[in-house]
Structure 1
Amino acid sequence: MSSEEEDDLAAAWGAALEDGKAEPEAKVSADAARVLNQAEIDSLLGFEGDGEGGNAARTGIERMIHSGLISYERLPMLEIIFDRLVRILSTSLRNFTSDNVEVSIDSIASQRFGDYLNSVPLPAMLAVFKVEEWDNFGLIVVDSPMIYSVVDVLLGGRRGTAAMRIEGRPYTTIERTLVERLIGVLLKDLGDAFAPITEVEFLFERLEVNPRFAAISRLSNACVLTRLRVDMEDRGGRLELLLPYATLEPVRELLLQQFMGEKFGRDSIWETHLAEQLRHTEVSLDVVLDQQIMPLSSVIALQPGDRIMLNTSPGSPVRLHCGPVPIFQGEFGRRENRPAVRISETLRNMADLVA
């Protein structure tokens, strides 16, 4: 083989080796440059199913994030109470402002207390109220448009013009006083809304303008947030009512009802019918003439024909029992040659026995 042929063979061999190395390197660089799509990212994080439908089961990190939240739908009676509050508040605010007022519910949702405080739009007024019967607190937030609308309408602002909003200054004493009167109307109506299930009074405690000073619960606690929209012709604003679940705990059993009847689920007709039937029930009364304590050996030794002497004479006090329950006390005697008992005292209230 000539030197030229040897050089050509070596060049071909070197080119083949270089091609063999370049192909794996190109493949590795292509794999490294590939970007994961959304489905692969969701699979790595534990989100399965498409998120657009909104009905996919929560898994992975999403389940961990939402595991501590409580849905207000577990207390269905709250929605009925807030509907009742809207009706009562609409009438009260019309009398309070002498204007055409419409109140509606924007939303009812569960939220962590800390997340809500961080989302309060400022400037605003935060009213802290106490529930004496439940020994806990609640929060009412009045946003800035609502504050200026109330001040404008109560101080004789011209109808048909929007309330003027002035930024960059603290609220005046007159504005705070008028908002406190508005809060008083709302708290009274809130107590009336809860009246069918329980007697409760909501007492105004203080008014704050800084959310940090209105901490009535732990930041991680769940609360029920109700947003009310108040429209007064071309003016209005929002009232937000925040009730921690700890505040509602004393009436949780009542709020678990699915619907509200005339007496919140109680059937008065059935109760009356049952009471009437109980009054016609036949019962037997036993007259206890005497009670004696005897040794077990004496009881075992009793035989037919033995006599037990009773320490009861005519006129002696005896008790009348219905089963094991003592009902009356009377005097033992005879009437027309037959043993009889004259009742002299009632030992139990008959109404309690029927109930």
Structure 2
Amino acid sequence: MSGSSEEDLAAAWGAALEDEAAPEVAGAPPADAARVLNQAEIDSLLGFDSGPSSDAAQSGIERIISSGLVAYERLPMLEIVFDRLVRLMSTTLRNFTSDNVEVSIDAMTSLRFGDYLNSIPLPAMLAVFKAEEWDNYGLIVVDSSLIYSVVDVLLGGRRGTAAMRIEGRPYTTIERTLVERLIGVVLGDLRAAFEPLCPVEFRFERLEVNPRFAAISRLSNAAVLTRMRVDMEDRGGRIEVLLPYATLEPVRELLLQQFMGERFGRDSIWETHLAEELRQTEVALDVVLDEQTMPLQQMLELKVGDRITLSSPPGAPVRLRCGEVALFEGQLGRRENRLAVRIERDRFRALPSEEAA
């Protein structure tokens, strides 16, 4: 009897649990709301998947970090300028080193100036130069590999062997002098690269080895960084040119062009049509016989029939005006029972000195 009662009680409990679970299946289960994510789901949410990541599909923490970065505008013409710089440097560095030199652009990015100073691999040489016409500064960074390669090439090192590096010591006077000559060649090519766009002179200021002493802009300011690779057979290194956006501000409109000589906000077809319509516009000309100055009280006392005596004698020249602009001078006469004016002088194109006379 007791066994059957326990079985009946268990069956009743089972039926009750099934009745409670039925509405949860039909609707949103409240138990899932408190479910804890496992490690795989957390990694997928934060973008730490084990698979290869792509820039097009960012997620989680990558989007959170990238949202704090500043999206700087692209300068299409600046890319053309640096492409021209690479071609010029390939020729000038061959003449400078008497060796086979290949120059290529690795990357061209926008970043904050402070972030770049913290990312410079040391030891390196930082050349500060000034753009005279723009009244601001730029930075050229030569890494250690290129420094020793240039020194080895210019001082007659053997070809086919890698340049010897001696790390942990300051750069000697000879090395600094040779790098200054290299910087002078690069600045000359940079001036020639900008010349078709706008004339500018880049003047070498100083050479630093500590990034803290090469602070040419605020750490939070935006800058354009161009990384170039210089290969001399089995030797070479990197040259990085950094231009703050404040330096490029005077020529920003030119650098926003898609191609050389582009004109913004102008349409030659519309300009021609507007000029043709303006030539057909009707304007009113006023013939001014004389001008007088009189008190307001005297003008208020004028009545019908009063006469105003003109001070200009008969035959005196009269002026033709359009609004307040004097256009012509002429003689007043009569033609076929109508008053007429014969134009004798162009006042619109007269010099200020002639008008004063």
Q: How does 1:173-322 map to 2 (within 5 A)?
A: 173-257=173-257, 259-261=258-260, 263-265=261-263, 270=268, 274=272, 281=279, 286=285, 287-291=287-291, 310-313=310-313, 316=316, 318-322=318-322
SS in 1 for 2:184: helix
Q: Which residue in 1 is equivalent to 2:331? A: 332
TM-score (norm 2): 0.70
How far apart are residue 230 of structure 1 and its match? 1.2
Structure 2 unmatched ranges of 5 or more: 1-35, 352-357
For 1:341, the equivalent position in structure 2 comes to 343
Contact 1:124/1:142 (8 A) holds in 2: yes
Alignment of 1:1-355 (within 5 A): 36-40=38-42, 43=45, 52-56=53-57, 62-63=63-64, 66-71=67-72, 73-257=73-257, 259-261=258-260, 263-265=261-263, 270=268, 274=272, 281=279, 286=285, 287-291=287-291, 310-313=310-313, 316=316, 318-322=318-322, 324-328=324-328, 330=329, 332=331, 339-343=341-345, 347=349
Instruction: Identify if the C-alpha distance between structure 1 residues 65 and 276 changes in structure 2 by more than 3 Å, giving closer, same or farther.
Output: closer
Question: 1:265–1:90: structure 2 CA closer, same or farther, 3 Å change rule?
Answer: farther
Distance between the aligned counterparts of 1:136 and 1:98, measured in 2?
A: 34
| CA–CA separation in structure 1 for the residues paired with 2:303 and 2:193 | 71
Give 1:144 deviation, angstroms.
1.2
Q: Distance in 1 between matches of 2:156 and 2:301?
A: 98
Deviation at 1:182, TM superposition (A): 1.3
Number of paired residues?
A: 307
C-alpha displacement at 1:104, in angstroms?
Answer: 0.9
Question: CA 1:311/1:124 → structure 2, altered by over 3 Å: closer, same or farther?
Answer: same
Shift of residue 214, structure 1, vs aligned partner: 1.0
- Using the alignment, how far apart are the partners of 1:218 and 1:267 within structure 2? 34
Residue 289 of structure 1: CA displacement? 3.4
For 1:234 and 1:98, how far apart are their aligned partners in 2? Answer: 15
Shift of 1:145: 1.4
TM-score (norm 1): 0.70
Q: Cα–Cα, structure 1 residues 338 and 318, in superposed 2: closer, same or farther, change >3 Å?
A: closer
Q: Residues 234, 41 of structure 1: CA spacing in aligned structure 2 closer, same or farther, 3 A cutoff?
A: closer
Counterpart of 1:29 in structure 2 is none
Greater Cα shift, 291-300 or 160-169 = 291-300
Partners in 2 of 1:128 and 1:65 — Cα distance?
30
Q: Tell me, what secondary structure is at the counterpart of 1:74? A: coil
Structure 1's 264 and 150: CA in aligned 2 closer, same or farther, altered over 3 A? farther
Judged with a 3 Å threshold, the aligned counterparts in structure 2 of structure 1 residues 149 and 41 are, in CA distance, closer, same or farther, namely closer
Change (3 A) 1:288 1:89: farther
CA contact (8 A) 1:314 1:332 kept: no
Give identity over the alignment, percent: 60
| Structure 1 residues 212-264: Cα deviation after superposition (integer angstroms, max 9, x where no partner) | 1111122222221110111222222110011122222222222222x113x23
Q: Separation in 1 of the partners of 2:308 and 2:59?
A: 78
| Distance apart, 1:269 and its partner CA | 11
* Residues 68 and 344 (structure 1), Cα distance of their counterparts in 2 relative to 1, 3 Å cut: same
Q: Deviations over 1:261-298 (max 9, x none)?
A: 3x234799949x84996699357683443345686996
Q: Which amino acid aligns with 2:53?
A: E
Distance across 1 between alignment mates of 2:297 and 2:89:
75
CA change 1:343–1:143 in 2 (3 A) is same
In structure 2, what is the Cα distance between the partners aligned to 1:315 and 1:101? Answer: 84
RMSD: 4.1
Q: Give the conservation status (yes or no) of the 8 Å contact 2:317–2:332.
A: no
Q: Matched residues in 2 for 1:181 and 1:175: separation?
A: 10
Change (3 A) 1:159 1:317: farther
Task: Give the drift of 1:172.
Answer: 1.6
3-state SS of paired residue (1:168): coil
**In structure 1, the residue corresponding to 2:199 is in which secondary structure?**
coil
Q: Partners of 1:302 and 1:242 in 2: how far apart?
A: 80
Structure 1 unaligned regions, length at least 5? 1-33, 350-355
Q: What letter is aligned with 1:116?
A: Y
- State whether residues 326 and 348 of structure 2, in contact with CA within 8 Å, keep that contact through their aligned partners in structure 1: no
